[in-house]
Amino acid sequence: MRFSARILMFMVFVMNGIMTYGQTSAQPRVLGLGAYGPAVQDIRGFAWNPAGLAGMRDWDFTATSYLETGNGVSGPVFHSVALGKRFLDREAIGVEISPGSQLNFVLPPTLSIGGFNTPTSNERRFEYQATFTGGFAHRFSDEWSAGIGFRYDRESVTDKQIALVPGDSIPLIPVTTEHIHTANGLGGDLGILWRPDERWILSSVGRNLFRATQGRLPDSLSQYSLPHDPALELGVGFRPTVSWLVLAGGSTRGTGSIGQEWRPGAGLAFRAALYMSRYEAPFVYAGGIGLGWSYEFLDLEASYVHYARSPWSDGGFSESDFDPKRIHTLDVNPYAGNRISVSVKAMFGNVRESLAQIEAVEMYSAVYPSSFEVFAYRPIGKARVRNLTDKPLRVRASIFVEKYMDAATESQPVLLDPGAVQDIELTAIFNERVKAVTTLTVGDARVFVTAAPAEDYDDRRQVSLLIRGRNEWDGRVESLRFFVQPDDPEVIRASRDMLLQNRDALAAATPALDSFLKARVLIDSFAGKLMYVSDPKQSADYVQYPAETLRLRGGDCDDMTVCFSSLLSSVGISTAFVDVIPPDAPGEAHVYLMFDSGLDPRFGASISENSKRYVIRPNRAGVESIWIPIETTVIARGFEAAWTAGAQRYFDDAEVGLGLARGWVRILDVN
């Protein structure tokens, strides 16, 4: 029995010499700032708030290592490597592989004697790992971004039992049995970042909103499983100055942290953080400091975290001291040891520092295919641009709409003072594909800003641009003229055929009346084949092209006005639209046609003894001539009826009602 006792005492002595140890770390910038949720802006520590991935410029790469400073230090440990990519301007993804993100514990063995001849001892090893993290982020605007994060973790408990059993040659023989229990899980988080202005950043992260598991620890070991219950983390960041950032955050789990970062210049950053928990004593259970240095596309970081009370600082602790429910993250927790962390971060792709920044983009109106040419000289929108440097810049803004533009249209250069903000108006040269749009379409317009002497764009923004259907009209008479197409082959063929059928009568007429008689022929020849009908959409913003009216042989006043303006223009007769918007009845707005007869006012009696039936105004050459008003709503009844109705309407509105003088009657030349 003395021999058995010696064996048993030896085993207890050896196993009590095994220390509990931990391995965990995170990005040095994370540890140095503490409340990192509002500060995520790239691949570093994106698991704290995946919405911050949207802040990457292009490609991000980072690698981290650490060194524990407590008892039993074995040397540097590789912690993680992460890679992120921004794409489609508003989206970003990131992945992190972290073999060094783990906690390992070996609890001191316990001894039990189930009978004097069968003393036993058991030893439990615990390993918690978070080896993979992934995330996706979308930026809705400059103020809002959201992201989804995924974490793969693993829990393992090795239950090792040693029993002393009687042997043949010696009294007691140690027999070892070992059981390994594992549980794998995939957890999902949702993060939001809100920047209401340049000084404030707010963050919200929902942890473990969904979780999938494979395997589980047995009931006898379930108390050693880490907590995976849903939790809400809130954070706030505030910039008292451009170079100073203050952070604070808290969780529904009863933990929190505060931190600050100061950037004095030369690429340097100094950080400090405090970690708190209502379950720990002292309440502030850890502190961290950090140092960073940035140069162009490279960032170097270092941090040191110190815990107020290390669980194994006295060489070990009992099973009663170990409570996994206090471990909410493997990065910072009461069982982690003091450590120094270092990392390197590199950016690739479009990593040149921006000289100018787009703060907002506003599109003035939709694009109407009938009048898309106007945006070559009339602004379609504006970009608000800021000079980010301490020197004056010459800045240009440009816009590009894929498929509907052959190349980006660039603005004239604008001189911006240091730190100044200015709106730059955008013009756009569209291609002929716009005319093929038949229904309302949403196009992706990309707006760029370039500051000399930059070789590439400094910032870009993607906005939505409405492109209307080819027959849609914005209601402005100025835009109605873009539906007039005198060069359309169908229009030319129709006008030539009608004049050819009346060539003998036209040849015998006085040359001074040539335009007047051609107009009469065109209107009379086609009038009997037309019918006045309402728009197919029962809407005033739908206009047929002249070829469509010729084929359909019908339309409303807008369609008739456009069609006959095209027919007359195709044979060299100038036309104009008369826009009438009665001030006491704007709902009765109306448009009709007027054409240039080419006749000198001295010879007005040759077409009518009543001078109220025509209008004397300048022609394209600036010489006064006689213009004939035509009411297109009655044009199906022939030239004389349309002329009479048009003359009466013009006299009532423009002369008697003083519409021209008061501005509610306008004459707009078409060609």
- pLDDT for the residue numbered 122: 66
CATH of the domain at 501: 3.10.620
Total domains present in the chain: 3
Is 72 within the bounds of a domain? yes
Give yes or no for residue 337 having a pLDDT over 90. Answer: no
Same domain, 492 and 456: no
Give yes or no for residue 316 having a pLDDT over 70. Answer: no
Same domain, 322 and 390: no
**Which range is least confidently modeled, 328-342, 492-506, 525-539?**
525-539
Distance, CA of 250 to CA of 258 (rounded, Å): 9
Give yes or no for residue 422 having a pLDDT over 50. Answer: yes
Q: CA–CA distance from 376 to each of 409, 425, 524 (Å)? A: 9, 12, 38
pTM above 0.85? no
**Percentage of residues of the chain with pLDDT beyond 90:** 39
Give yes or no for residue 419 having a pLDDT over 80. Answer: yes
- Classify 90 in phi/psi space as left (phi over 0), alpha (psi -120 to 50) or beta: alpha
- pLDDT for the residue numbered 352: 57
Long-range contacts of range 257-263, CB-CB < 8 Å, 24 or more positions apart?
257/34, 257/35, 258/34, 258/35, 259/32, 259/33, 259/34, 259/35, 259/36, 259/288, 260/33, 261/32, 261/33, 261/39
Is 514 within the bounds of a domain? yes
Averaged pLDDT for residues 214-228: 81
Higher pLDDT, 129 or 667: 667
Same domain, 577 and 551: yes
Distance, CA of 488 to CA of 544 (rounded, Å): 13
- pLDDT for the residue numbered 351: 53
Both tokens of residue 378?
Answer: 């009339």
The torsion angle over the Cα atoms of residues 635, 637, 639 and 640, rounded to 10 degrees, is -120
Report the greatest alpha carbon distance in the chain: 145
Is 472 within the bounds of a domain? no
- pLDDT for the residue numbered 25: 47
Q: What range does the domain containing 424 cover?
A: 356-467
- pLDDT for the residue numbered 532: 64
- pLDDT for the residue numbered 310: 63
Same domain, 153 and 21: yes
Give yes or no for residue 369 having a pLDDT over 90. Answer: no
Same domain, 426 and 496: no
Is 549 within the bounds of a domain? yes
Cis before 282 (ω within 30)? yes
Both tokens of residue 213?
Answer: 């598991």
Distance, CA of 633 to CA of 580 (rounded, Å): 14
Averaged pLDDT for residues 101-115: 64
Same domain, 169 and 215: yes
Of the pLDDT bands very low, low, confident and very high (cuts 50, 70, 90), residue 536 is: very low
Of the pLDDT bands very low, low, confident and very high (cuts 50, 70, 90), residue 70 is: low
Same domain, 340 and 393: no
Of the pLDDT bands very low, low, confident and very high (cuts 50, 70, 90), residue 178 is: confident
Instruction: Decide which of 325, 348, 371 is a domain's last residue.
Output: 348
Instruction: Decide which of 436, 467, 498 is a domain's last residue.
Output: 467
- pLDDT for the residue numbered 90: 84
Same domain, 261 and 406: no
CATH of the domain at 450: 2.60.40.10
- pLDDT for the residue numbered 17: 37
The Cβ of residue 483 has, within 10 Å, a number of other Cβ atoms equal to 26
Q: CA–CA distance from 46 to each of 30, 65, 237, 263, 350 (Å)? A: 10, 17, 16, 21, 20
**Which range is least confidently modeled, 15-19, 216-220, 343-347, 551-555?**
15-19
Same domain, 344 and 365: no
Is 546 within the bounds of a domain? yes
Of the pLDDT bands very low, low, confident and very high (cuts 50, 70, 90), residue 1 is: very low
Q: Are 593 and 566 in contact (CB under 8 A)?
A: no
pLDDT tens digits, residue range 567-620?
A: 999 999 999 999 999 988 887 888 899 999 999 999 999 999 999 999 999 988
Distance, CA of 40 to CA of 49 (rounded, Å): 6
Q: Is 620 helix (H, G, I), strand (E, B) or coil?
A: coil
- The mean of the pLDDT values for the chain is 83
Instruction: Decide which of 467, 500, 523 is a domain's last residue.
Output: 467
Same domain, 289 and 365: no
The torsion angle over the Cα atoms of residues 257, 258, 264 and 266, rounded to 10 degrees, is 10
Q: Are 20 and 68 in contact (CB under 8 A)?
A: no
pLDDT tens digits, residue range 453-503?
A: 544 556 777 777 888 888 888 888 888 888 898 989 999 999 999 999 988
Of the pLDDT bands very low, low, confident and very high (cuts 50, 70, 90), residue 392 is: confident
CATH of the domain at 152: 2.40.160.60
Q: Is 187 helix (H, G, I), strand (E, B) or coil?
A: strand
Same domain, 493 and 617: yes
Is 276 within the bounds of a domain? yes
Same domain, 454 and 533: no
- pLDDT for the residue numbered 313: 46
